[in-house]
Structure 1
Amino acid sequence: MQKKLTIAIAEDVYEGLHKVIGPRKISKFVEELVRPHVVKPLMEGEYARMAKDTKREAEALEWTEATFRDIAHESR
């Protein structure tokens, strides 16, 4: 279910949203930006789901280890 929300923003921001995002897409744009900051349980569930993907986790670990090896050899 959706709820209607009225917010006040600067005129230049409003105009920019209309030009860049489009007048019928602003709500979705704002929701996608705000959601990760206010709907924590969904993020935690997604992290748990991702952690169960053993192939993805192995690739992430390999990438992390390679990155740390690269950093260890950088000159300061």
Structure 2
Amino acid sequence: MQKKLTVTIDERVYAGLHRVAGRRRISRFVESLVRPHVIGKDLETAYRQMAQEEAREAEALEWAEATVGDVADEAR
């Protein structure tokens, strides 16, 4: 069940939210940032569950291996 919340923020922050999250996606963006700070979760159990999802793990490994080379291109 969702609840509606009214929050007052600086106009520059609001503009940044639109720029970063996009129109009609601000709520989801803010919730994803806030959720870990307000909902207790056993991380070890969550990581174990994620590791059991073979397709997700394969995708994560593929992503990690594909991006590891990008580090060499970073400015120092």
Range of TM-score over shorter length: 0.5 to 0.7
- TM-superposed CA distance for 1:51, in Å, is 4.6
Tell me how large the CA RMSD over aligned residues is.
Answer: 2.3
- TM-superposed CA distance for 1:50, in Å, is 2.9
Match for residue 2 of structure 1? 2
Structure 1 unaligned segments of length 5 or more: list them. Answer: 55-76
Rg larger in 1 or in 2? 1
1:48 aligned onto 2:63: no
For each residue in 1:5-60, what CA deviation from the matched residue of structure 2 results, as whole angstroms up to 9, or x when unmatched?
000000000011112211211000000000000000xx21x422435789xxxxxx
Match for residue 18 of structure 1? 18
- The amino acid that maps onto 1:26 is I
Q: Percent identity?
A: 53
Give the 3 Å change call, closer, same or farther, for CA 52–18 of structure 1 in structure 2: closer
Structure 2 unaligned segments of length 5 or more: list them. Answer: 52-76
For each residue in 1:54-73, what CA deviation from the matched residue of structure 2 results, as whole angstroms up to 9, or x when unmatched?
9xxxxxxxxxxxxxxxxxxx
Aligned length: 51
Give the 3 Å change call, closer, same or farther, for CA 20–38 of structure 1 in structure 2: same
Give the 3 Å change call, closer, same or farther, for CA 39–11 of structure 1 in structure 2: same
Between the aligned partners of 1:9 and 1:35, the Cα distance in structure 2 is 19
